[in-house]
Amino acid sequence: MSKALKATFLVHAVVSLLCGAPLLIAPGQMLTSLGWAPIDPLMSRLLGAALLALAWSSFRGWRATERAQVAILVEMEAVFSVLACVGLLRHLLVGAWPLVPWLAMVIFLVFALAWIYFLVRRK
């Protein structure tokens, strides 16, 4: 497995952990402090749980030694990131949003492009 793919897994695990844990534990405090309010605490906690699950899978991908062990993870990460971009873009283009949703879009887009690159490359 390439060093770039391993590094992508590690960075994704850290980013997902740092975003997911606060969303699961205290979504109101996190999002309000970032200027994103009002929020839906139930959906925010579900997103936090999903991000933590992705962090765990990325950690497992980082620890894997062979490309075949992580092929399904790369596909799943790509699909999640692309769908997140589609969902965010639909709202971002329709209204005035604070910086945080735009930043989330950029982060998801960067990861989507990385995962798609590794899907196409398959080395």
pTM: 0.90
Residue at token pair 């492009």: 113
72-121 pLDDT, tens digit per residue, is: 999 999 999 999 999 999 889 988 888 888 999 999 999 999 999 999 98
What's the DSSP call for residue 34? T
Pick from 113, 104, 119, 117: which is nearest to 16 by CA?
Answer: 104
Q: 65: helix, coil or strand?
A: coil
19-54 pLDDT, tens digit per residue, is: 999 999 999 888 888 877 778 889 999 999 999 999
Confidence of residue 1 (pLDDT cuts 50, 70, 90): confident
